[in-house]
Chain A
Amino acid sequence: MRPKGGATVQHWLYASNCAVAPAWAGPTVEALVAHAALRNAECGLSGALLFTGQHFIQALEGPATALAQMRSTICDDVRHTHIMTLAEGTLPHRRFDGWALAYAGASVYLADQVRTAMADGAPALLSLLQAFARPLPGANPGCGQHRAT
């Protein structure tokens, strides 16, 4: 859980198509998120997952070996197809505090935004994921906001 990166943090950003029937997608994602919350903390991975009903977008970052292992596990997962790497490499520091489900839902607007962001490339998607992963304003005192919760 501790995002203590040292000098080398590897990262991977990908998009994929959900292969699970719509009726099962909700419970599937729920189970997946619960599982990932435990596993990612164990192996020092942080990041975020976004699910629009059709697409998964996931950012993962952490130690090189842990990330490589998780990456091959995820790539073998039959619950999604057409895994497309959008960005990968070394980062000076982590971009996510921990592991988070950014969004899971069927917002028509967000699905459109994701499609546009996929065409615009990794930076647009990363900022979308980061915006979701950020703590709610007001939930955290001491970030310059004097709004009591």
Chain B
Amino acid sequence: MGEINVAQRTVHIVDSDALHRRDLAQLIRQQGLDCHPFAASADLADALGYLPAGCVLLAWRTPQPPAQATPIAGEEEGPGPMVRAVLSQRPEMAVIVMAVSPTIPQVVQALRAGAVDFLEMPVQADALRPVLEHGFSILPARVAQQQRVGQATALTTQLTPREQEVLRGVVAGLTNRAIAERLRIGVRTVEMHRGNIMQKLQMDNLAALIRFAVFTGVLDQGLDAA
């Protein structure tokens, strides 16, 4: 009867097909898991802010093409945007895409968009169990990572724009002199900013500062913008 043996595990479902949604919810509850079914992505999106972290099962159903629609238009459509929409709001959720007779490109698109796994619909209990186990096994690390990013990002917002520019220079490996020249400020001022940055970010050495900056993506904003 292979239950997943931890209480309070939650699975969120989005499926427009009422019958499949009901069957799936039943399968999930039979495994001793909590289940929140939604009929549409928009309903999930409204609730995402306060839902507990868990697995999200997203049904990807090809819309019925209207009679006079151009056939090529839908070719490249796939589950990617749906996955990214959930992850942009809740990056820690373990998203699993479901589809009827999926093609390789569809599966690839879902995984590349950040889905952790895939299921064929209608979902069978045998297939569901290992996939949910996979999802829940990686969830704690994802939640922890998300918390670290949140804390780090909160710290970064305490930096002034000028301090952020200096930080980018430091991370890019520029000397204080080079940073000073770029920002047209004095070397002493750069040194002062660096001191403040270390203090605000609660760092005691340069290596830790650089790791932090890479981690929070300060680098991504580029140096040339300064």
| Docked-complex contact A106 and B111, CB < 8 angstroms | no
Question: Which of B22-30, B101-109, B163-171 forms part of the interface with chain A?
Answer: B101-109
Q: Are A131 and B108 in contact (CB under 8 A)?
A: yes
User: Does A89 belong to the interface (CB within 8 Å)?
Assistant: no
Q: Mark B100-136, 1 if CB is under 8 A from A, else 0.
A: 0000110111011000111110000000001100100
Q: Which residues of B contact A105 (CB under 8 A)?
A: 111, 116
In the complex, the answer to whether A107 meets B134 with C-beta atoms within 8 Å is yes
Task: Report B11 CB to chain A, min CB distance, Å.
Answer: 15
Q: Specify which of B76, B116, B134 is in contact with A145 (CB 8 Å cutoff).
A: B76
Known: A108-B117, A108-B131. A127 touches B111 (CB 8 A): no
CA distance A105 to B80 in the complex (A): 17
Q: Mark A93-125, 1 if CB is under 8 A from B, else 0.
A: 000000000010111111001000000000000
- Given the complex of chains A and B, what is the CA–CA distance between A82 and B165 in angstroms? 51
Q: Is the CB of B117 within 8 A of A107?
A: yes
Kindly state whether residue B206 has any CB partner on chain A within 8 Å.
Answer: no
Partner of A108, one of B76, B105, B130: B130
Question: Counting CB contacts under 8 A, is B138 at the interface?
Answer: yes
Q: Which of A103, A131, A145 contacts B105 (CB 8 A)?
A: A131
CB distance from A83 to the nearest CB of B (A): 24
State which of A109, A132, A145 has its C-beta within 8 Å of the C-beta of B118. A109
What residues on B are CB-neighbors of A127 within 8 Å?
A: 104
Main secondary structure of the interface of B (DSSP, over half): helix
Contact A131 B117 (CB under 8 A): no
**Which residues in A have some Cβ–Cβ distance to B below 8 Å?**
103, 105-110, 113, 127-128, 131-132, 136-137, 145
Please name 30 pairs of A and B residues whose Cβ atoms are closer than 8 Å in the assembled complex, sorted by A.
A103-B108, A103-B111, A103-B112, A105-B111, A105-B116, A106-B116, A106-B134, A106-B138, A107-B111, A107-B117, A107-B118, A108-B117, A108-B131, A109-B107, A109-B117, A109-B119, A109-B120, A109-B131, A110-B111, A110-B117, A127-B104, A128-B104, A131-B105, A132-B108, A132-B111, A136-B80, A136-B112, A137-B76, A137-B109, A145-B76
